[in-house]
Structure 1
Amino acid sequence: MRGTKRQRILVRGMALLTGLVAVPAAAADRVTLTVGTVNNADMVRMQALTPDYEASHPGVRLHWVVLEENTLRQRLTTDIATGSGQFDVMTIGAYETPLWGQRHWLSPLDKLPAGYGLDDLFPNVRAQLTADGHLYALPFYAEASITYYRKDLFRARGLQMPAAPSWQQIRDFADQLNDPAHGVYGICLRGKAGWGENMAIIGSMVNAFGGRYFDMQWQPQFDTPPWHQAVRFYRDLLRKDGPPGVSANGFNESLALFAAGKCAQWVDASVAGGVLTDPKQSQVAASVGFARAPHAVTDRGSSWQYIWSLAVPVSSRQQAAATEFIAWATSREYRDLVASRYGLAASPPGTRLSTYRNPAYMQQVPFAKVTLDSLLAVDPVKPTLLPVPYKGIQFATIPEFQAIGSLVGREISGVLAGRGQVDEVLHVSQQAVRRTMRRAGYDRAAVQPASGAP
């Protein structure tokens, strides 16, 4: 009997190895999609709805890789450039999408379901995710930058926030409201280094002060008066009226500070309104006010626009399933699911016209109008006071910008931390960026119109 049992075990093991034992069809056909996304509240909410998607798609399992913004960008850039195929779905923005699409790193989305509603997308959102006539990503949410402020603190001091404040007014308010002894700081802004972190606010501030990244001959403009004025203003404002350790604060850290009642004002992404007005997540939900992003010598480019989107890399082995998932996650049905589960204010904002044509949304969501007005006002094709050869507001849509923005962002973050002076770091940045542009051949390139893809 012992030998017979051993033989049966051996035969069964060999059958498993050679595929002679049948595997249940459901397990054999199951697809695992690896989704790389950022740890922002809306994406974490999307992850929380995994059971809903898997219930309606029983052959699909979602595997999430949720990372801090800078880390996510590094991982995705490495993966897409090497074609290693670690991700089936990537969360990227309006910067990467046209560049990666033109390089054929992303799958074109030319065959979406009829009911998806492409015509319902904001035209300027759809345009930024299109290259060479193909849509390469679907918008999950779009944001402008707006001003958040504490209405209770303003009221107590007899202050009135204008609908469209200037940066000088923001600084005056910060001076009057800064109260570190009671744990309230006059202003919170991003200080963490990164082309998508501190450079988002710095780039839009420079625009407001009349500056730009490059002139029409692709010459860097970092060592010019508007850059010096804007960065000094930024440094002085945060050193005097900002929270301690601000050079380590990005979007999520600043959001947490404001939600905890630590900031009298905050200029950042309009998408944060859903968190700040939720009493379950914000201690100041009942007292948050909203205004347009500050201007200075101009309002052109003073508010940024960013589109967090979902794309399918060509290296994914699950093209059909990945495309079906991103169509669901950016659909009207997903938006309505979020609203029913978490409330209207949690709906992914800024992408669909129908969201803002809904009277209930406009009446019940306090930041809806300022977000809509800001999104309609931004123009990535004409982003600055003076003409530029690039598209983009807080970034320039050229392959070199990721390295350029990261370099300059590190230098300016260092200034906040007490390392270096503004004039010095901007001069150093100018020289470094000039070398980068020369190596890339921009000094020999014909000037490209901003309306065309760089």
Structure 2
Amino acid sequence: MLPENDVRAKISQEFSSQAGQYDIASLSNYEIPFYSANGWLAPLDNTVAKNPDFNQADILPAYTASLTGKDGKLYGEPFYGESSLLMYRKDIFDAKGLTMPANPTWDQVADLAAKVDGAAPGMKGICLRGQPGWGQLFAPLTTVVNTFGGTWFDKDWNAKVNAPEFTAATQFYVDLVRNHGEAGAAQAGFTECLNNMTQSKTAMWYDASSAGGSLEAASSPVKGKIGYVQAPVKETKSSGWLWTWSWGVQAASKKQDAAGKFIAWASSQKYEELVASKLGWAKVPSGKRTSTYANAEFQKAAPFFEAEKTAIQNTDPKNPGVQPRPAIGVQFVGIPEFADLGTTVSQGISSAIAGQGSVADALAKGQDAAQKVGDKYKSK
């Protein structure tokens, strides 16, 4: 087990070299399509999907689709799945006489953030990620770009990073977090926003739906006080992301049958029941199985279940915005180069959040970096 940035680097090195030191690794629906295309993964159709106790049909279709390679073979099984939701303090909203729409717009969210800013001592209106990184700042921000009508690339691989829609979305995000967001926002990621929410330092938070498990845990001081609604929108009907940390087997593994047996257990309904018996249903690695959402005990322990399921079902990684895309992905562009590109551009945006630069300058530099990537794909 390693921190996320470290584990990504290690897994990439291990699987690209096919060193065979590890049989299984945690891979996401971002990596698996091009890992499988490179021949780095072993298919799981026979070792896991056909396991009689696994029940592949119970896995939500969005994940089976996103973990399937271009050759039609299955290369990953989800450990858990998530979309993104807007989470808010129901008690704070009630005290202020405010109503949260079930399907809010970003304009409504900005208005509500202003109204609940300072509603309790030390409480800010909203928490949004500002920490540099393609998987930190740009996870939520890219969904904002999508629903504002922007995109990283058009269908012909022309970069659109400094286009009016991308610029408007980014400026909106930066202004919102600067005006009504958490202290130290430029270094805040998922963990920092989770801490702010549980410590009553923020009234709203837009982020991964998987946060619900921690917010509703028995030890959480805000258990039962949180409401969950769909990701805010502007030009699209929905804007939630789609993500899963999944198991993938290295093609060089000499223990593929044993690896398949482990995955069939670790992603199974029985594993979820084991976690529930030890830690409670709120802590189950959910978001991947239809049966979990139908479980009455899970529904009782996880008040976010209906919103999360709706968000996952309404997410279309092939069509997340208002225009055709050249690659699959909601909060990312499904190409190997995006990890570096997104991180590079995020650094300028994070600086703008810190008040040390402008959005326009950051996106101008980002446009140049993105077009270099796009040009590679234009020539293919």
Q: Would you say same fold, with TM above 0.5?
A: yes
Aligned residue runs from structure 1 range 198-213, under 5 A: 198-213=137-152
Give the corresponding residue for 2:37. Answer: 102
Report the Cα offset of residue 175 of structure 1: 0.9
Give the corresponding residue for 2:5. Answer: 70
Match for residue 305 of structure 1 among 236, 242, 247? 242
Q: Which SS does the other structure have where 1:162 is aligned?
A: coil
Match for residue 93 of structure 1 among 28, 31, 45? 28
Q: Which SS does the other structure have where 2:211 is aligned?
A: helix
376 and 85 in structure 1: CA distance in 2 versus 1, 3 angstrom threshold: same
Q: Which has the larger radius of gyration?
A: 1
Contact residue 70 and residue 196 of structure 1 kept, 8 A:
no
Q: Which SS does the other structure have where 1:267 is aligned?
A: strand
Question: Which structure is higher in RCO with an 8 Å CA cutoff and minimum separation 6?
Answer: 2
Contact residue 345 and residue 365 of structure 2 kept, 8 A:
no
Match for residue 366 of structure 1 among 279, 288, 303? 303
Q: Report whether the alignment pairs 1:190 with 2:129.
A: yes
Give the corresponding residue for 2:279. Answer: 342
346 and 181 in structure 1: CA distance in 2 versus 1, 3 angstrom threshold: closer
- In structure 2, what is the Cα distance between the partners aligned to 1:175 and 1:158? 14
Give the corresponding residue for 1:293. Answer: 231
Q: Which amino acid aligns with 2:29?
A: A
Q: Which SS does the other structure have where 1:411 is aligned?
A: helix
Q: Report whether the alignment pairs 1:331 with 2:273.
A: no
Match for residue 354 of structure 1 among 291, 301, 306? 291
Aligned residue runs from structure 1 range 119-138, under 5 A: 119-131=57-69, 132-138=71-77
Match for residue 408 of structure 1 among 338, 345, 365? 345
- In structure 2, what is the Cα distance between the partners aligned to 1:310 and 1:248? 30
Superimposed CA distance per residue, residues 78-132 of structure 1 (whole angstroms, 9 cap, x where no aligned partner): 2222333443321111010111011111121122222211111111110100101
Give the corresponding residue for 2:356. Answer: 419
Q: Which amino acid aligns with 1:392?
A: G
- In structure 2, what is the Cα distance between the partners aligned to 1:83 and 1:417? 41
Contact residue 140 and residue 348 of structure 1 kept, 8 A:
yes
Structure 2 segments unaligned to the other structure (5+ residues): none
Deviating more after overlay: 106-115 vs 372-381: 106-115
Superimposed CA distance per residue, residues 36-93 of structure 1 (whole angstroms, 9 cap, x where no aligned partner): xxxxxxxxxxxxxxxxxxxxxxxxxxxxx2x332232222222222333443321111
| Count of matched residue pairs | 376
Report the Cα offset of residue 335 of structure 1: 0.9
- In structure 2, what is the Cα distance between the partners aligned to 1:316 and 1:193? 35
Q: CA RMSD in A?
A: 1.7
251 and 106 in structure 1: CA distance in 2 versus 1, 3 angstrom threshold: same
Q: Report whether the alignment pairs 1:321 with 2:262.
A: no
- In structure 1, what is the Cα distance between the partners aligned to 2:189 and 2:20? 29
Give the corresponding residue for 1:242. Answer: 181
Q: Which SS does the other structure have where 2:130 is aligned?
A: coil
Contact residue 154 and residue 160 of structure 1 kept, 8 A:
yes
Q: Report whether the alignment pairs 1:83 with 2:18.
A: yes
Q: Report whether the alignment pairs 1:377 with 2:314.
A: yes
Report the Cα offset of residue 381 of structure 1: 1.4
Superimposed CA distance per residue, residues 222-244 of structure 1 (whole angstroms, 9 cap, x where no aligned partner): 01111111111111111111112
Q: Report whether the alignment pairs 1:264 with 2:264.
A: no
Superimposed CA distance per residue, residues 225-275 of structure 1 (whole angstroms, 9 cap, x where no aligned partner): 111111111111111111121111111221122111111000011111011
